[in-house]
Structure 1
Amino acid sequence: MELLLGHKEARQRCQRAGGAVLSILDEMENVFVWEHLQSYEGQSRGAWLGMNFSPKGGTLVWQDNTAVNYSNWGPPGLGPSMLSHNSCYWIQSNSGLWRPGACTNVTMGVVCKLPRGEPSFHPMPSLPENPAALVVVLMAVLLLLALLTAALILYRRRQSIERGAFEGARYSRSSSSPTEATEKNILVSDMEMNEQQE
């Protein structure tokens, strides 16, 4: 939960992801969510709960309009003053208890729940939301890797060629081939014959 948002922004973010702000339907799910929230405690006081006050029935409902049948309110509990359109609700990362409060000037972590029923913890992207920008970034990374690989191959090939040329030169200086020795002997004997004829 690197991203902390106001309640309205959290709702919009989850809707764009195809889900809804976190709903917790039973104690097992509350424990599961709380365990995951604890690792983010330093960055956030908690995560928004996707519930609203319904004036029709005078009760709290989740974003999909189902009744809130399970709750885990911390002390002093949920008073009548917290049942209004101006109230928002969250789960605390340090205790797993639910808290009511004002919606304005408050930021919390965002956990989106996707339609398949599994909670999805979104560390909210550090990747760009624009798909074209993501493709450009991936292409740039791939191009950089290809260039580094090519440079490494050329560097090793160059070292190999230089090492081979040096070793070849050293070999030819250290010993002469049989044909060179024969040619030297012929030259010496020709010179001796020329000297004798004079």
Structure 2
Amino acid sequence: MLLSGTGSVNSTTVQPLGGCLAGWTPFENRCFIVRNSPSTFVDAQQICIVLGGNLASIHDENQSDFVRKLIRARFGSNVPAWIGLFDALAEGRYMWTDGSPLDYTDWAPGEPNNNNGTENCVSVSTDNGFPGWNDLSCARSLPFVCSRNRPLPPV
């Protein structure tokens, strides 16, 4: 499983407003994009790497709310979408694909539950549209949220 990427994107496509590429939305020190190309967790992570980032990591309530709002803006409701949290290496030991520390969680009630012993990857929102994180089978195809660091301004 890919954990982190260092893909590059042509810097001439950077938009001056917010320092993010066209199509990405700035928030705090990162840029986010919701992709509506349903993919498995691993494929979604690979696409995010090609785009110069990773599946999104979330570190506080403000970021969690922001990601949910991005998803609602894209789809009109709380649809499940991959974020970069997984425990495929050791059950119950969650980590972010970008290698950042797990310092915040926003599980939906009763989650994570590792239903049928096959749920190792995490989506924002549940299948019934309720907010909160849900562990799911990594083989499911879902839309996904990528994030990347905002480029530093030139000196």
Out of 61, 79, 88, the residue aligned to residue 121 of structure 2 is 88
**Aligned position for 1:112:** 146
Read off the aligned partner of 2:142 and give its amino acid letter.
M
Residues 1:34 and 2:68 aligned together? yes
Residues 1:66 and 2:100 aligned together? yes
Read off the aligned partner of 1:8 and give its amino acid letter.
V
For the Cα contact (< 8 Å) 2:57–2:100, is it kept in 1? no
TM-score by length of 2: 0.61
TM-score by length of 1: 0.49
Bigger Rg over Cα: 1
Residues 1:5 and 2:29 aligned together? no
- Greater per-residue helix proportion: 1
DSSP-derived class of the 1:114 partner:
strand
Q: Using CA pairs under 8 Å that are at least 6 residues apart, name the structure with larger relative contact order, 1 or 2.
A: 2
Query: How large is the RMSD of aligned CA atoms in angstroms?
Result: 2.8
**Aligned position for 2:53:** 19
Identical counterparts, % of pairs:
24
User: 1:1-198 counterparts in 2 under 5 A?
Assistant: 1-41=35-75, 45-53=79-87, 54-55=89-90, 59-79=93-113, 81=114, 87-92=120-125, 94-104=129-139, 106-116=140-150
- In the alignment, the residues of structure 2 paired with residue 78 and residue 86 of structure 1 have an alpha-carbon distance, to the nearest angstrom, of 8
Read off the aligned partner of 2:144 and give its amino acid letter.
V
DSSP-derived class of the 2:150 partner:
coil
Gaps of 5+ in 1: 118-198
Gaps of 5+ in 2: 1-34
Q: How many residues align?
A: 113
Read off the aligned partner of 2:107 and give its amino acid letter.
W
